[in-house]
Structure 1
Amino acid sequence: MDLRQLEYFVAVAEEQNFTRAAERVHISQSGVSAQIRRLEGELGAELFDRSGRAVTLTVAGRAALEHARAALAAAEAVGDAVGQVTDLIRGRLTVGMVIGCTLTPLFDALAAFHRVHQGVEISLLEDNSDRLIEGVRADAVDLALVGTAGAVPDGLDSLTLISERLVAAVPPGHPLARQRRVTLGDLVPHPMVCMPPGTGLRTVFDRACAAQSLRPAIALQASAADAMADLAARGLGVAVLSESMAASYRDRLTARVIDDIETPAVLALVWKSTHNPAVRELIVHSRHAFTRPDPGQGLPPAS
């Protein structure tokens, strides 16, 4: 067993509900359920009675709860004690996040960092990717989640999270939905729904259009994928999304990969090489949060 399983166990016990527990620990319900099942398998006993409307502890669960809480408190105390003794990490960190793209693992990393280094003040800044990258280069932003066109910015350290093709998303009755292949030339006659300039998706799209001297009609712009999907579903334009974005709306939109856009939209964490111990520690927590296996939890779409 590991501390994460104990954390999920305590959350379910206190919330008496898997959905509320999943919201509390910021992962999917299926992820919580899988980890609880794994813990029960390791212990050789069921911890919860799932037969009623509320999830209740079994006799074995009640016996385990106090010890699980004690183990989590002890783990947190270890980090606090080390921090108090070393007293190395203090100050302020500014973390950037591209508008319209909420990644739970980033919040997990911030929470884990804060638990260990409570002397560091954390601020979260939402902006478009271009400005966030400029902020990292200028030392105004310490770590940023950004969308880029094909490659991460030169001169910055990075961790690529997603790299995907662009798709055109339309309602099932739209003429493009009947085509097997879609090109930029096919899109030009139709009004478009795009993300604003400065986002990774828009940069990929604009560069591809410019390379072919095409001038699509950008009818509407939105920073959030949900808004773009709603606009496209109502017939107000062809939405330009990433593959994982479009997959979330397959119940109402048909997606076609834009064949002649080969440059992927990349979602990445970027930072500047630094000797600041707080930044280095946050990067460690971020790498762990984004790369650890977690059943049922995938990464959200790129922006």
Structure 2
Amino acid sequence: MELRQLEYFVAVAEEAGFTRAAARLHVAQPGVSAQIRQLERELGEPLFDRSGRTVRLTAVGEAVLPYARAALAAAGGMRQAVDELTGLLSGHVVMGSVSAPSVLGLPGMLADFHERYPSVEISLVFNDPVTLLDGVLGGRLDLGLLDLGLLGLGAGLPPDVEVQVVVDQPLVAAVRRDNEAPSGTSIAVAGLEGRPLISLPPGTGLRATLEDACARAGFAPHVAFEAGEPLVLGRLAARGLGMAILPESAVAGVESELRVLALTGPPMRARMGLVWRASGPRSPAGRAFVEHARHHLPDLGG
């Protein structure tokens, strides 16, 4: 008994005729008839009643049909499993990010995936949140790491995108220890007015959050220096270039040179999230990569 015989048998049963089945299978009609006769000889019973103008299943044929369909489905599942394994062995995944925050340990996550799937190529690209989100929606990126504080993204992600919040921490103000900033451990947003600030550039969630908070307080922030990496903001503040507005974790490495102040009225937060298409990446390697990243990185809720 061969899968081809079962395929021909199911086609004849569904088309109620040998000629239509042959046309559906793109083979010659005598070949279909020959394979069905061979299957009937192996089973020892006729599968079709050929006495009328329409070919009909016999009682034995009716009983055999579900098993033939199940066998063909199982064979299809085997082929799919092989295709997916082949994809994982030779695929290519692309992750986009606005930055590579050290608090997440992205290099370790990527290294672990490479160790598990050594033949899958990995690309990590950096861009602004809007471009990255468009890349995820368009299938050019398997996964994105976005700054959710960007106005319009925090509460308005498209319905066909899923998100896992991986960073949720307060924004703080940091100045060199000898800076004349107000004494104490905190500064209100209103106290930022007129001060030279150090911030991420426009188009980032941190900058949008800062500008929105200042606008609510009735002024526009005076950003004297910009840098594209949060860790650099703290280093610039440590050189006395101004007051850095940055995520709490970004003062690492220079905290001994800085005075860190909590921001109040209102407090501001830095939120980053993994985003991917709800339907999942198109490739097996991409789907495996998304699951790996979701398991490896924190899940702080939506």
Shorter-chain TM-score above 0.5: yes
Other-structure match for 2:219? 214
- Deviation of 1:270 after TM superposition, in Å, equals 1.3
For 2:120 and 2:185, the matched residues in 1 are separated by: 53
- What's the counterpart of residue 154 of structure 1? 157
1:264 corresponds to: 269
Q: What letter is aligned with 1:87?
A: T
Equivalent position amino acid for 1:181 in 2: S
Over 3 Å counting, the alpha-carbon distance change for 1:100 and 1:94 in structure 2 is closer
Contact 1:105 1:286 in 2 (8 A): no
1:117-144: per-residue Cα shift (whole Å, max 9, x none)?
A: 3453321101233322232223222111
Q: Which amino acid aligns with 2:285?
A: A
Confirm or deny: 8 A CA contact 1:149 1:265 kept in the other structure. yes
Q: Distance in 1 between matches of 2:242 and 2:172?
A: 13
Tell me the secondary structure at the aligned position of residue 163 of structure 2.
strand
Find the residue that maps to 1:176 and give its secondary structure: coil
**Equivalence for 1:182:** 187
Q: CA deviation at 1:266?
A: 0.5
Q: Identity over aligned residues, as a percent?
A: 29
* Cα contact 2:185–2:262 (8 A) shared by 1: no
Question: Shift of the alpha carbon at 1:254?
Answer: 0.7
Aligned partner letter, 1:194: S
Q: Note closer, same or farther for the CA distance 1:263–1:227 as it changes in structure 2 (3 Å cut).
A: closer
Contact 2:201/2:226 (8 A) holds in 1: yes
Alignment of 1:1-303 (within 5 A): 86-89=85-88, 90-99=90-99, 101-102=101-102, 105-149=105-149, 151=154, 154-155=157-158, 156-246=161-251, 248-275=253-280, 276=282, 277-291=284-298
Change (3 A) 1:83 1:251: farther
Which structure has the larger Rg?
2
Q: Which residue of 2 aligns with 1:56?
A: none
CA–CA distance in structure 1, aligned partners of residues 197 and 127 of structure 2: 23
Per-residue deviation, residues 156-182 of structure 1 (Å, max 9, x unmatched): 212212211111101122222514431
Displacement, 1:291?
4.4
Paired amino acid for 1:287: R
Preserved CA contact (<8 Å) 1:148 1:203: no
- 1:157–1:270 CA contact under 8 A, matched in 2: yes
**Superposition misfits of 4+ residues, deviation over 6 angstroms:** 82-85
1:185 Cα deviation (Å)? 1.7
Unaligned runs of 5+ in 2: 1-80
- Provide the rounded CA distance (Å) in 2 between the counterparts of 1:138 and 1:228: 33
| Alignment coverage as a number of residue pairs | 211
C-alpha offsets along residues 40-63 of structure 1, whole Å, 9 cap, x if unaligned? xxxxxxxxxxxxxxxxxxxxxxxx
* SS across alignment from 2:187: coil
- Structure 1: gaps (5+ residues): 1-81, 293-303
Alpha-carbon distance in 2 for matches of 1:231, 1:88: 45
Deviation at 1:249, TM superposition (A): 2.8
- 1:95 to 1:153, Cα distance in 2 relative to 1, 3 A: farther
| Residues 157, 213 of structure 1: alpha-carbon distance in 2 compared, 3 angstrom cutoff | same
1:166·1:261 contact (CA, 8 Å) conserved in 2?
no
